[in-house]
Structure 1
Amino acid sequence: MRFRYLGNSGLKISEIIYGNWLTHGSQVENDTAHACVRAALDNGITSFDTADVYANGRAEEVLGEALAGERRESLEVFTKVYWPTGPKGPNDTGLSRKHVLESIDGSLRRLRMDYVDLYQAHRYDVETPLEETMQAFADVVRAGKALYIGVSEWPADRIREAHAMARSLGIQLISSQPQYSMLWRVIEPEVIPACEDLGVSQIVWSPMAGGMLTGKYLPGQQPPAGSRAADEKGGQKAMAGWMRDDVLGAVQRLRPIAEGLGCTMGQLAIAWVLANPNVAGAIVGASRPGQVAENVAASGLVLDEATLGAVDAAIGHVVTDDPAKVAVPEARVA
């Protein structure tokens, strides 16, 4: 496992980060979830990402249970706040002072920890003054409940505003957590340049585009049984935008590139996002322990310019890179 600095800070994280968005507390049994976390630790992963909204708090609980007994100082644990949680009342959502301060306490209780290394605003809240949100985050940091702060799916201009305000409050905003993959590059035109200027790193989610870049989906064929694209409970809808024959065919042209490197297509996809110098880590999930070891094998896989060019030649015509598709702040619904 290789490690990278997170933003312009002294915090190092594993470049492969274990995330439990779609698994813990929902899709997999607790025993399997614990085994996946154990596999992550055994394979050198020290950084773990979760959020209070995942399975309405249950994902944090399962992660806390799985990490119990581990040396806390040897881990980097990230969580988030914004989306509705609990009974989803009018103050159970957003980035108000009330919700931020109550949510960090709830997250720490579920995680069985005294602090998190990184506390992230899961979306931008247009209904709360940014000054109020940043003051609440500053109070969280000063109380020792979080060491650093970050954002997730914020556009470039909002990141600049928040970063400036954080500096004025004496705290460090060091990370941005967007979706990023070979196929989804909307952060490249604006978010990444802004973050490079500010000393903010990306910790990216869905580096394999929801499994699309593993190559398991074939043009003209139904999704494999048990795959995300075959899941009528939500995965099918989330994957619908990718399930076009032009995309599926383009992805298959990545297969010989991966074979030439002696890696899987999934490992190639993870290595591709890590090739961007502004990316500090790639978040991967797992529904079984074996997937963890396979993903970790992407750490240290260096792609040269010829390989990066071959990737663009294979799939460049189906890439989404419109900066207008970065998550747009909108009124929240309690």
Structure 2
Amino acid sequence: MNYRTLGHSGLSVSSLILGTMGFGTETNEKEAFAILDAYLDAGGNTLDTSDVYGKGASEELIGRWRKSRTGDIADRTIIATKARFGNGPDANDVGLSRRHLQRSLDKSLARLGTQSIDLYQLHGWDPLTPVEETLSFLDAALRAGKIHYVGVSNFTGWQLQLFISTAKAMGVPVPVTMQQQYSLAYRELEYEIIPAAIHNDVGLLPWSPLAAGFLTGKYVRHSESGAGGRLTSDNPMNQYIARHLHVSEQKWATLEVVKDIARQLGATPSQVALSWLGYQPSVTAPVIGARTIEQLRDNLGAVDVVLDAAALQCLGDASAPTPDDYPYGRFGMLQRERYVDSSEQALREL
């Protein structure tokens, strides 16, 4: 396993983060414990969860696992969790208000069985709560030692910039990471979100790096028949992705390129897709959502897959987002290239 610093912080995290959304629901406790053990044995050190995963079941399972393991396992495990979405019946059990975040944080700490959370992430934007209120709470939680770093998730580019600019104006810590959907099947955030992240030295933690299993190659065109696949589940986000797979010819063409490169390298499509992310600007580490020990082992193999310039070019060309409308057409592509190509010619084109 390789390691990278978490955004502009000094915290070292493994190049693959283990997502635990299905722990305690789709993945039973015995298998979840085995996955957690195997991940740590392979050198992984960062677990990602949320207070709404399984209505808290994921955090509780991680807490039981940490308590049941001896030695320094709990101390060397980095915990990342999130808050924002509804987790109770009260009108204030949702959002980024001081009241909701305080209650959510305390409950997460109790479920995880820890006194501090390494990375506390805002799970989404809240249009009702003033940014200053949210930042004030996070600053207080940092000062109290309840959290060590702040991250955001599912923000747009302007929301990220507003959050960071306001934090700087207030003199409080700014986010170190941003967790977004990003993969060879979904690259649209390269127009504004990734440039904003690079500009502010914010590390990107891609969720759904295999596009809900699509990039594993197990699905049949115009079908959702991948046995046991996520696209067949009732998860609303997975159903959203499934609908888009039926209408995009480019995604299927991209998958064929992924498969071809995997055959050339003696790797799996999953490993190629995960490896590609590690070469992208601003990416710290993708969040892999292994539901079985077999999936975990396959994903872990990505750290040994090296993509040369030719492979990266083929993957990049096949999957490049191609909107026609201003400002995301050619104009948008030039803006994006400013952040990945600092050559004199690229700058002159701007």
Fold conserved between structures, TM > 0.5: yes
How far 1:229 moved relative to its partner?
Answer: 2.4
**Quick one: distance in 2 between partners of 1:233 and 1:8?**
33
**Quick one: distance in 2 between partners of 1:185 and 1:323?**
16
Query: Deviation digits for residues 43-94 of structure 1, max 9, x if unmatched?
Result: 1110010000111111110111122235333121100110000x33101100
> Aligned pair 1:197/2:199, yes or no?
yes
The aligned amino acid for 2:245 is W
**How many pairs are equivalent?**
322
Please name the residue that 2:312 is paired with. Answer: 308
For structure 2, the 5+ residue unaligned runs are 329-350
**Quick one: distance in 1 between partners of 2:315 and 2:184?**
8
Secondary structure of the 2:287 match is: strand
Query: Deviation digits for residues 236-285 of structure 1, max 9, x if unmatched?
Result: 45422113472335412321111112211001111111111310010011
For the Cα contact (< 8 Å) 1:192–1:278, is it kept in 2? yes
- TM-score, normalization by structure 2: 0.86
Please name the residue that 1:242 is paired with. Answer: 245
Which of 1 and 2 has higher RCO (CA within 8 Å, sep 6+)? 1
Structure 1 stretch displaced more, 297-306 or 114-123: 297-306
- TM-score, normalization by structure 1: 0.90
> Aligned pair 1:12/2:12, yes or no?
yes
The aligned amino acid for 2:17 is I
Query: Deviation digits for residues 80-117 of structure 1, max 9, x if unmatched?
Result: 110000x3310110000001111111000000011111
**Quick one: distance in 1 between partners of 2:235 and 2:108?**
26
For the Cα contact (< 8 Å) 1:220–1:245, is it kept in 2? no
The 5 A counterparts of 1:1-334 are: 1-21=1-21, 23-68=22-67, 69=69, 70-85=72-87, 87-167=88-168, 168-219=170-221, 223-231=225-233, 234=236, 235-236=238-239, 238-244=241-247, 246=249, 247-316=251-320
Residues 81 and 257 (structure 1), Cα distance of their counterparts in 2 relative to 1, 3 Å cut: same
**Quick one: distance in 1 between partners of 2:327 and 2:186?**
10
For the Cα contact (< 8 Å) 2:220–2:226, is it kept in 1? no
Percentage identity across paired residues of the two chains: 34
Structure 1 stretch displaced more, 285-294 or 119-128: 285-294
For the Cα contact (< 8 Å) 1:184–1:320, is it kept in 2? no
The aligned amino acid for 1:37 is L
For the Cα contact (< 8 Å) 1:174–1:200, is it kept in 2? yes
How far 1:305 moved relative to its partner?
Answer: 2.1
For structure 1, the 5+ residue unaligned runs are 325-334
**Quick one: distance in 2 between partners of 1:89 and 1:320?**
44
Q: Report the structure, 1 or 2, having the larger helix content.
A: 2
The aligned amino acid for 2:73 is R
**Quick one: distance in 1 between partners of 2:226 and 2:139?**
47
